[in-house]
Chains A and B, each alone.
Chain A
Amino acid sequence: MKKLSLLLFLLIGSVSMVLAQRTVSGTITDNSGLGLIGANVTVKGTSVGTITDIDGNFSLAVPDDKNMLVVSYTGFQTQEIDVSGQSNVLMTLAEGELLDEVVVTALGIERDEKSLGYAVTNLDGEALSRSKETNVVNALSGKIAGVQINGGASSLGGTSRITIRGANSFLGNNQPLFVVDGVPVDNGTVTGSSQARGFGGAIAYDYGNAAQDIDPESIESMTVLKGAAATALYGSRGANGVIQITTKDGSRKEGLGIEVSNQISFDNVRNLIPHQQQYGGGDIASTPSGFYEVVQDGVTYLTPAYGKDGSWGPKYEGQQVRHWDSWDPNSPNYKQTREWSAPAVGYENFFETGITRTTNVALTGGNENGAFRFGYTNLGSTGTMPNGELKRNSFSLKSDYDVNSRLNVEISGNYIRTDANGRNITGYNNGNPMQAFTQWWQTQLDVDRLKAGAYNVDGTQQTWNAKGLTVNEETRELIGFDPAPNYFDNPYWVRENYLQEDGRNRLLGAATMSLDLGRGFTLMGRAGTDFYNTSDRAGIPVQSVETSLYQEREQKFQETNFEGRLGYNTQLTNRLSLNAFLGVNRMRQLRRTTLAATSGGLALDGFYNLSNSLAPSTIETTEAQRGINSVFGSASLGFDNWAYVDFTARNDWSSTLPEGDNSYFYPALTVSGVLSELGNWASFDGISFLKVRASYAQAGADAGAYRLVDVFTPQTPNFNGLPRYSVPNSRNNPTLSNELTTEIEFGVGAKILGNRLGVDLAYFSRSTEDQIFSVPSSATTGYTSKILNSGEMKNSGVELELTATPVIMGDFSWDVGFNISKINNEVVSLADSVNSIAMGGTWAADLRVQKGEKYMALYGQDYVYHENGQRMVDENGNYMFTADRVYLGSALADWLGGFSTSFNYKNFSVGGLFDFQYGGVMHSTSLQWSKYSGMHPETVEYNGQKDIRENGMVLDGVKADGSANDVAVDPQTYYQTYWRRAAPNVYSTDFIKLRELRASYKLPSSISKRIGVRDLSIGITGRNLAILSSDVPFIDPQVTTSGDNRQGLENAQVPATRSIGFNVSFKL
């Protein structure tokens, strides 16, 4: 109740009384007379202000009793102007000292960028919202040095994974902490380890990463804190970097503002694996035609083996055969034959154009005492697979109010409601149509016919892959036809009949009170929470090839933080300033999942209810609770406005460490020097700003919940009524202590050529030791692993960020940005006599955390190479492979980067973004099976050799003596024998992508005014437009099936999408 009345108070308080005032307009220019866009113009002694438009013009309501305006602009001297008796002024600003740039650092503390001893990257909300990405993680692609994004281009709320500066933890989380307005926000996913490596069971839906609930339209700015020094104040949770989001607020301007924007975008799939066009599905029967012969009512028909899920069948020669849809006696197709030929359109026709509509309305208002912003965003999206839909309604309110000259209160709150149905299933599963399309398909199939014929006339499923015919072996007389699916359901039937629904209510927000105690002391208190409830339902129909099922799950997550901070800010001497604070934080987190599912299948088809279970339904609840209490502090000394020293420290008490030994302390020290502020700087022509910085920081981390005491695992259900418990395979450890990350960072930042060129270079080296993880042990000890503090992982690298404005001519400007990073990652050590942790794999490749290699190393059998560098073949013409699985690379890229450019001319703006990565690898199970099953184009034409199914193919390689291979092998035998060898399907994930192209036009105010609005802009944005360079054939190298650490195993990848969006925005 208290909170509510405070809220009302803030709302009411922000509607201001209108004082007597007049309007002053004017133009602000530089020395050359060019209008300065975005200069700040404020009425001195008030918070009333505005910024100049593109031509340097402004218009401002000035209270009658005020006459002085203050004009400021980055890179120019701040000047005042007297407007007594004037209604129109012209002012030329003199170029001057670079003004301090303020950045938001850890815990939302605003600092002069020049005083920082570590790298931070700021992105304004404009840059983010221009991308029009619905998942905030994806909007970061290519924009920040050292950031790697995996996945993200598939539609309908799919998962994206983000890592900053490599990976630190062997088995724990490696993604950064998201913080919105000071409140940590959960970015969890519900994918298990088997889904992460491309499996995961019949209902392995991609529910997305939780941070995508953050509405990009509400973001004012985003700060990416990369290193341990930057994140030290967040403690262990910031060890992987912090993405700090500040939401938009109202300005303390008079009156009410209304902003509206609307966007519609169209998603189309790209990067599909094509099918060969010469042979159909099934196999070659031992008949003259190669088809199976079946006699029905005296007529002999030819038919392919539709029960097979592969494409080694007869060649397309226009033969008349009975197809999969000719066996239903009630169907008009019954006994009909059709031509044996490649389909006119392939499986690309299965996909639809996904449409995403986003409408955002924001209300802002304020007066000199406070401001508020209320935003509402409605997002509706349909997927690229049939029958997928996602809706998200986001409400945000941010309001602050000066209760008096010393006390300010602020409330920010977001309520997000997400509803989805028909999400995509990932990985190797019948429910994911990609498994059939890319791995186990018959190439002659026409998806339009599959759509038309998804049901038999009696309403049951009709699939292409029925168990099929039984014939009398002598007479070939038809005995029976079993329409039940053999391996695959009809993909249309799956998308129409599988049940998937979910909904999430999420509330995140904070209330903050700041009190100015005087004499440089300030006090801040904040309570914040992130709270959500997710309900989802999934079901498999009785007629599916999978066991029928209904499952419902409730997930509850809540994290609450209470934070208090006492700050002290003073000028110690003329030349020495002190900025210090001491803070405390109390964090409590609860995650609870209740999962109830039918058992043994459903009794009635189509009735999705737990009571419809053949055997008793099962229910299980898992709960994880944890808490951290912290004390932290910071002291910054500034000397003469050019040298800065920061000391920060934090002590955590964690619930997950042993009682009495649960406290851990870690310090950070940073120094920076703004050399350009020193004495005779002017002699260095062209360099207007130069800073060097260095930092040393540590960060501790605690364990997962419940790792200290050995427990027993309940096994459900009871066996004939007898309860069962097992001893967990992983042994807990009562003597755990904290992990420790240590990082050093050096950097230099400069602004050159009148600030036209900005450079920032950083070097970092980070090591995480005493990691808490399940150290594998021989199962013969009784346990397959034991939780220990052990091992070390190291990341080091260089990051370069460049910004430049190569051209400004009149109304034209050209801006470019470029960033690149090189990251070296190494698993330095694991544990005594442990060199490897198995992380699971597919048939041919597996992931390991391997001592001495990059994190999440991909292992499999490699080719054997001749000393001349060529792949070697044996005497039969088959490739030779290493006897053991060897290191083939890692999904972690070595080089990451992006290039952005924009051109502005008057009201026009066009821009583009390219990004790239280099030095990672992946294994493709889709390509492996598409060759095994004869669908891949290479199974009919290899390396320029045609008719290889008849004549064999000569693999590209050399014999033992180094001479070129000249022995032909049968492609089917080759692919079906060597498919467990990883190397033929391992590719580098190097890519260059055209991530974004956009154009926008702001209509002249004369036109806007005519239709009663302001700032009317229209734009077009293209996202994920093209892969300009990639080593992987057909599919997108930026593959992921989850937000899990296990990356690099492609399996039936849900296709990436290309989107084109149109947007319009205006103010009222």
Chain B
Amino acid sequence: MTFAMCCGLASCDDISDLNVDPNSPTSVPASNLLTQAEFSMFDLLAGRVYNAEWSMLMVQQWAQTEYAEDSRYVVDANSFNGTWTALYAGVLNELNVARDRISNDENLVPKIKQNQLAVIEVLSIMAWQNIADAWGDVPYSQALNSVDFPNPSYDSQEFIYNDLLQRLKSSIESMDDSAPGFVSGDALLNGNMSSWKKLASSLLMRMALRISDVDDGKAKEYAQAANSIGMLASNADNVIFTFDAGMPDLSFPLYRDETLNNRDDFAVSDVLLDNLVSNNDPRLTAFADTIIGGTYRGMPYGLTDAEAFGLKNSTSRPAKAVRAAGASYVVIDFAEVSFMRAEAIQRGYISGDAASEYDAGIRSSMEFWGVSNGVEDYISANGYDGSNWKESIGTQKWLAFYMNGPQAWAEWRRLDFPKLDVPAAASNPAIPVRLPYPISEDQNNGINLDAVTSDINDLNGKLWWDVN
């Protein structure tokens, strides 16, 4: 009898019920994935690894105060595994799964469904452009489909850009701003579809201009489309992702780095500070803090560790506000739109007065940074030079993109201004123009990666759109 009882214990109850995961749901609304995708993408673009410790250093806005290896282009091959993974397996996969859930949701009103899909599409394209601008050729058409393509092959940056431009234009056309998008979960634009439309067309202009040196015809076509759909029209339209100051883990990533992790690794570089000071740029006080004694002093860019440490306590830190808990990431703003319009006019893509667009760009940057005194003096002293427009626009974008390293680096690579010097102690003969491919990709998809590069650590091979 005991035996029979034991037998009962052993096999008769349904043990599979024990395997229902109590920690994680099997189904969540697409809006919850959207919030996560928005947060993680902007967290990455504003954060330490890709922004402060790489692209802001590449354009010499900041300099390191100690352990100054990155500013001398000594790269740890593991550094960008996380960036690559976060963009593909994080942001893009979240958006991909969200897209499936929206597409399969039969209860959604068609217009709203259409709008939600467009929002997902615009964010995906933004992530893709960042990937392509960092690494060039990457898996694209076979990516994010683990069942059919466990080892995705690589696409050329040209192919990716052409496809993204097409997709972005279609998604703008599919938006219906008479209906809402995401009624909740949209931490960037709170479901406002007319804002999404302005963002998307401004992004279209950004992408069009980025390829203007290699495909003038296509650049013109899309620039005109962006201009006619309507981009941001004033600073009030700026698309800004504000971090959650109340939650330390969700606060501005460089606040977490500096204040919570107690890392005092960055000073404003002498290159940027000298520019600001010598031009009486009113943004000086918004960009940097004084040292004890009330003066500004930039950290010479690219020093050795010992040299940098010697100056650590006597060089200017970034202004407190740019690393505040509730600081924000500028996704796209009117200053950039104005500079883009100036360039599009200069290139003959659209009509207008390049100089006044350029002035408007400076003016709105000043306004954004909260400075007003001396703005007009600055503009008249730094007027638009149509014969050397790349320097005018390049330099002003470099200034306006302060704290937005990824865009500043991309535009510096494309426009080649301002002129930046390779530091004497550098380990690389030139300023890097691409990210090294991550080791994880070499380990897990090496065959396909080998087809596009012979050196995954290469920092100097120019991207497709970077011809000068």
Inter-chain CA distance A312–B32, complex, in Å, is 52
Residues of chain A within 8 A of B261, CB atoms compared: 547
- Binary contact readout B178-205 vs A (1 if CB under 8 angstroms, 0 otherwise): 0000001101000000000000000000
Whether, in the assembled complex, B244 has its beta carbon less than 8 Å from a beta carbon of chain A, the answer is yes
Contacting pair A655 B151 (CB below 8 A): no
Inter-chain CA distance A312–B310, complex, in Å, is 13
Residues of chain B within 8 A of A655, CB atoms compared: 15-19
Contacting pair B18 A627 (CB below 8 A): yes
Whether, in the assembled complex, A876 has its beta carbon less than 8 Å from a beta carbon of chain B, the answer is no
Distance of A956 from chain B, by nearest CB (Å): 25
Contacting pair B26 A629 (CB below 8 A): no
Whether, in the assembled complex, B236 has its beta carbon less than 8 Å from a beta carbon of chain A, the answer is no
Whether, in the assembled complex, A344 has its beta carbon less than 8 Å from a beta carbon of chain B, the answer is no
Contacting pair B16 A722 (CB below 8 A): no
Binds B, one of A219-227, A442-450, A712-720: A712-720
- Binary contact readout A942-957 vs B (1 if CB under 8 angstroms, 0 otherwise): 0000000000000000
Distance of B267 from chain A, by nearest CB (Å): 14
Contacting pair A285 B24 (CB below 8 A): no
Contacting pair B293 A783 (CB below 8 A): no
Give residues of chain B (251-292) contacting chain A, Cβ–Cβ below 8 Å.
251, 260-262, 264, 291-292
Inter-chain CA distance A283–B310, complex, in Å, is 9
Inter-chain CA distance A281–B225, complex, in Å, is 63
Contacting pair A782 B443 (CB below 8 A): no
Contacting pair B292 A781 (CB below 8 A): no
Residues of chain B within 8 A of A720, CB atoms compared: 187, 244
Inter-chain CA distance A472–B297, complex, in Å, is 13
Binds B, one of A830-838, A1001-1009, A1028-1036: A830-838
With contacts A629-B15, A709-B26 known, is A782 near B6, CB below 8 A? Answer: no
Residues of chain B within 8 A of A714, CB atoms compared: 23-25
Give residues of chain A (447-479) contacting chain B, Cβ–Cβ below 8 Å.
467-473, 479
Binds B, one of A254-262, A530-538, A569-577, A771-779: A771-779
Which single residue of chain B is at the shortest CB-CB distance from A776?
Answer: B444
Residues of chain B within 8 A of A585, CB atoms compared: 10
Binds B, one of A186-194, A491-499, A616-624: A616-624
Residues of chain B within 8 A of A547, CB atoms compared: 248, 260-262
Contacting pair B26 A711 (CB below 8 A): yes
Contacting pair A782 B143 (CB below 8 A): yes
Which has the most chain A C-beta neighbours within 10 Å: B3, B15, B16, B93? B15
Contacting pair A599 B306 (CB below 8 A): no
Inter-chain CA distance A568–B138, complex, in Å, is 67
Contacting pair B139 A778 (CB below 8 A): yes
Inter-chain CA distance A659–B76, complex, in Å, is 46
Inter-chain CA distance A404–B45, complex, in Å, is 78
Contacting pair B250 A717 (CB below 8 A): yes
Inter-chain CA distance A25–B442, complex, in Å, is 80
Distance of B154 from chain A, by nearest CB (Å): 9
Whether, in the assembled complex, A415 has its beta carbon less than 8 Å from a beta carbon of chain B, the answer is no
Which single residue of chain A is at the shortest CB-CB distance from B13?
Answer: A629
Residues of chain B within 8 A of A653, CB atoms compared: 10-11, 15
Inter-chain CA distance A616–B250, complex, in Å, is 12
Residues of chain A within 8 A of B250, CB atoms compared: 717, 719
Distance of B379 from chain A, by nearest CB (Å): 34
Inter-chain CA distance A358–B39, complex, in Å, is 55
With contacts A599-B249, A726-B94, A781-B146 known, is A525 near B39, CB below 8 A? Answer: no
Whether, in the assembled complex, A843 has its beta carbon less than 8 Å from a beta carbon of chain B, the answer is yes
Which single residue of chain B is at the shortest CB-CB distance from A625?
Answer: B18
Contacting pair B9 A777 (CB below 8 A): no
Inter-chain CA distance A976–B425, complex, in Å, is 14
Contacting pair A622 B260 (CB below 8 A): no
Whether, in the assembled complex, B356 has its beta carbon less than 8 Å from a beta carbon of chain A, the answer is no
Give residues of chain A (703-735) contacting chain B, Cβ–Cβ below 8 Å.
705-706, 708-715, 717-720, 722-729, 731
With contacts A715-B36, A726-B90 known, is A545 near B262, CB below 8 A? Answer: yes
Whether, in the assembled complex, A564 has its beta carbon less than 8 Å from a beta carbon of chain B, the answer is yes
Distance of B253 from chain A, by nearest CB (Å): 13
Whether, in the assembled complex, B104 has its beta carbon less than 8 Å from a beta carbon of chain A, the answer is no
Residues of chain A within 8 A of B93, CB atoms compared: 727, 782-783
Whether, in the assembled complex, A275 has its beta carbon less than 8 Å from a beta carbon of chain B, the answer is no
Residues of chain B within 8 A of A515, CB atoms compared: 2
With contacts A708-B19, A725-B28 known, is A305 near B3, CB below 8 A? Answer: no
Inter-chain CA distance A711–B27, complex, in Å, is 7
Contacting pair B146 A731 (CB below 8 A): yes
Which single residue of chain B is at the shortest CB-CB distance from A726?
Answer: B36
Which listed residue (A525, A629, A731, A833) contacts B447, Cβ 8 A? A833
Inter-chain CA distance A469–B10, complex, in Å, is 72
Inter-chain CA distance A467–B317, complex, in Å, is 15
Distance of A633 from chain B, by nearest CB (Å): 12
Give residues of chain A (512-545) contacting chain B, Cβ–Cβ below 8 Å.
515, 523, 525, 545
Inter-chain CA distance A588–B184, complex, in Å, is 42
Whether, in the assembled complex, B109 has its beta carbon less than 8 Å from a beta carbon of chain A, the answer is no
Residues of chain B within 8 A of A142, CB atoms compared: none
Whether, in the assembled complex, A155 has its beta carbon less than 8 Å from a beta carbon of chain B, the answer is no
Which single residue of chain B is at the shortest CB-CB distance from A470?
Answer: B292
Whether, in the assembled complex, B152 has its beta carbon less than 8 Å from a beta carbon of chain A, the answer is yes
With contacts A615-B246, A712-B28 known, is A630 near B10, CB below 8 A? Answer: yes
Contacting pair B246 A706 (CB below 8 A): no
Contacting pair B310 A285 (CB below 8 A): yes
Contacting pair A662 B5 (CB below 8 A): no
Contacting pair A778 B445 (CB below 8 A): yes
Inter-chain CA distance A980–B32, complex, in Å, is 41
Residues of chain B within 8 A of A614, CB atoms compared: 248
Inter-chain CA distance A545–B36, complex, in Å, is 30
Distance of A832 from chain B, by nearest CB (Å): 8
Give residues of chain B (22-46) contacting chain A, Cβ–Cβ below 8 Å.
22-28, 31-33, 35-36, 39-40
Inter-chain CA distance A562–B16, complex, in Å, is 19
Residues of chain B within 8 A of A468, CB atoms compared: 313
Binds A, one of B81-89, B110-118, B359-367: B81-89
Contacting pair A711 B9 (CB below 8 A): no
Distance of A1041 from chain B, by nearest CB (Å): 20
Give residues of chain A (848-898) contacting chain B, Cβ–Cβ below 8 Å.
none
Distance of B326 from chain A, by nearest CB (Å): 11
Residues of chain B within 8 A of A832, CB atoms compared: 150
- Binary contact readout A1044-1057 vs B (1 if CB under 8 angstroms, 0 otherwise): 00000000000000
Whether, in the assembled complex, A388 has its beta carbon less than 8 Å from a beta carbon of chain B, the answer is no
Residues of chain B within 8 A of A931, CB atoms compared: none
With contacts A546-B262, A585-B10 known, is A780 near B143, CB below 8 A? Answer: yes
Whether, in the assembled complex, B224 has its beta carbon less than 8 Å from a beta carbon of chain A, the answer is no
With contacts A711-B26, A778-B444 known, is A307 near B247, CB below 8 A? Answer: no
Contacting pair B25 A838 (CB below 8 A): no
Distance of A466 from chain B, by nearest CB (Å): 11
**9 A-B contacts, Cβ less than 8 Å apart?**
A467-B264, A523-B3, A625-B19, A706-B20, A711-B26, A726-B40, A779-B85, A780-B144, A843-B76
Q: A563-B6, A723-B32 are in contact. List 15 more A-B contacts (CB 8 A).
A: A523-B2, A584-B3, A616-B246, A628-B15, A659-B16, A705-B19, A714-B25, A722-B35, A723-B35, A726-B94, A727-B97, A729-B85, A778-B441, A838-B443, A841-B78
Closest 9 pairs between A and B when the two form their complex, measured CB to CB: A564-B6, A600-B248, A778-B445, A711-B24, A782-B93, A706-B21, A781-B146, A584-B10, A655-B18
